[in-house]
Amino acid sequence: MEKPEAIIQKISGNDDIPLPRYMTSQAAGMDIFAAVIEEEIIEPGQRKKIPTGIKVALPEGYEAQIRPRSGLALNQGITLLNSPGTIDADYRGEIALIVINHGQEPFVVKRGMRLAQMVVQKTCRLKWVEASELTTTSRGSGGFGHT
């Protein structure tokens, strides 16, 4: 299996926050952790930007997708807006999570808790070739709910 290298930096004051890590031997996503200074309460229907305490430098041709954790979504109704979020190879700022509470109870974000997952994938850049018509398919222009 290919294992490209990427650079990661912990932001000052976050030495106690674990680096993103795979929780099982065949996991596609690495869990990433909340780097809140003190507990953050997210009320039902509320959203908050939660820091992770890390910055990354991905190799050219790769992106990191930030996705919700299924257990939090199922058990507490916690998910991420703008999901999946994309971390581009040229972004050098802190990775932050836009967390929303779709649950019925307030949700407490604690320092160091596993809050999201990161999947790193290859990307490609394409070149548009403009045409006056597209080729036909059996599906045609059938969209939402068509299949």
| pLDDT tens digits for range 4-24 | 999 999 999 999 999 999 999
Q: Which domains does the chain have, with CATH numbers?
A: 7-122 (2.70.40.10)
- This prediction's pTM: 0.90
| pLDDT tens digits for range 30-47 | 999 999 999 999 999 999
Q: Are 118 and 32 in contact (CB under 8 A)?
A: yes
Q: Are 132 and 72 in contact (CB under 8 A)?
A: no
Distance CA 5, CA 60 (A): 11
Question: Is 147's pLDDT higher than 80?
Answer: no
Distance CA 142, CA 74 (A): 32
Residue 139's pLDDT is 85
Mean pLDDT on 63-86: 97
Distance of alpha carbon 56 from the chain centroid? 13
Residue 140's pLDDT is 85
Number of residues that this document lists for the chain:
147
